[in-house]
């Protein structure tokens, strides 16, 4: 995919008028990726931007135009995929509790799963990387692939709206996995628990790793209650309680997810 020139002050807003594809810098590779995504971009520069890693955007000569990277598209795509996944599991499984729905969504929007989806779409092949990232194997790094998947979703959303983005997310992110995840809930299989869901949520928000600290315990040996706080950095997220330390940690993680979820939806 060849680069197209962008002005340094360009925003992520969809252009007011549709550029001709001949003038947009789109090439055969871009068309190949559009075919894979099953979405033809009215504004192909959005797809190019989604494939541009910051290492490439910052690696330019003084006489070259500023290139926009995919970080803000990634931010937008993260919000869109979270919303679509939430609505999808809500509509598919109305009988499930809030906690179960949260676990389903957490697994669907996890960094690991999005990286696997990106790998299945061969997004690494199309990434525009700086020389350092290229040498260090950036095309196969899970973090870069997950970021690229979110950026592509953000680009589709800006190009054609929520219906087009939702179609991509349903087909590639949700449909291939949601049935088996639902089955794991039923059978008590190994789908991520509240602690795993919280970790994935914080990773998606780039807030770091959750830390758990036992703050107290009460009661006789045969009926103890443990109290555990979970925090990220210096921020206290929630405090849980349970009959064991493990149960208290799960309760704290559940409450932290419930606290963070409205903020995530607002993004």
Residue 56 token pair: 């490439």
Residue 138 token pair: 């950036």
Assess whether 150 carries a catalytic annotation: yes
Out of 48, 69, 74, 150, pick the active-site residue: 150
Place of tokens 């008028």: 17
Beta bridge partners of 41: none
Q: Residue 46: CB partners within 8 Å, gap ≥ 6?
A: 14, 73, 155, 158, 159
Distance CA 87, CA 8 (A): 36
Question: Is 215 strand, coil or helix?
Answer: strand
Place of tokens 């979110």: 150
Reduced 3-state DSSP string for 220-248 = CHHHCEEEEEEEECCEEEEEEEECCHHHH
Distance CA 165, CA 158 (A): 9
Distances in Å between the Cα of 173 and the Cα atoms of 54, 102, 178, 216, 226 are 25, 16, 9, 41, 38
Q: Are 143 and 203 in contact (CB under 8 A)?
A: no
- Burial of residue 177 (CB within 10 Å: 0-12, 13-18, 19+) is middle
In the chain, beta strands by DSSP E: 211-218, 225-232, 235-242
Out of 45, 69, 74, 78, pick the active-site residue: 78
Assess whether 116 carries a catalytic annotation: no
* Active centre residues (catalytic): 78, 150
């Amino acid at each position: 995919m060849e680069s197209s020139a962008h002005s340094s002050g360009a925003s992520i807003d969809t252009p007011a008028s549709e550029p001709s594809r001949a003038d947009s810098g789109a090439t055969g590779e871009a068309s190949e990726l559009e075919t894979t995504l099953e979405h033809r971009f009215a504004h192909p520069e959005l797809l190019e931007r989604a494939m541009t890693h910051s290492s490439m955007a910052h690696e330019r000569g003084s006489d070259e135009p500023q290139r926009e990277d995919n970080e803000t598209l990634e931010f937008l795509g993260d919000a869109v995929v979270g919303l679509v996944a939430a609505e999808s599991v809500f509509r598919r499984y109305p009988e499930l509790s809030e906690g179960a729905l949260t676990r389903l969504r957490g697994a669907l929007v996890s960094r690991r799963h999005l990286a696997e989806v990106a790998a299945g779409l061969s997004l690494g092949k199309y990434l525009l990387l700086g020389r350092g990232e290229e040498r260090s194997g950036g095309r196969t790094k899970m973090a870069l692939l997950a970021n690229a998947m979110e950026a592509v979703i953000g680009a589709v959303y800006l190009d054609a709206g929520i219906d087009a983005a939702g179609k991509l997310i349903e087909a590639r992110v949700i449909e291939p996995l949601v049935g088996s995840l639902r089955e794991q809930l039923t059978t008590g299989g190994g789908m991520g628990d509240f602690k795993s869901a919280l970790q994935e949520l914080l990773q998606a928000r780039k807030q770091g790793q959750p830390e758990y600290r036992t703050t107290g315990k009460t009661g006789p040996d045969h009926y103890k209650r443990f109290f555990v706080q979970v925090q990220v950095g210096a921020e206290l997220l929630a405090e849980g309680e349970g009959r064991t330390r493990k149960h208290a940690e799960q309760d704290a993680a559940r409450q932290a997810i419930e606290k963070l979820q409205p903020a995530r939806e607002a993004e």
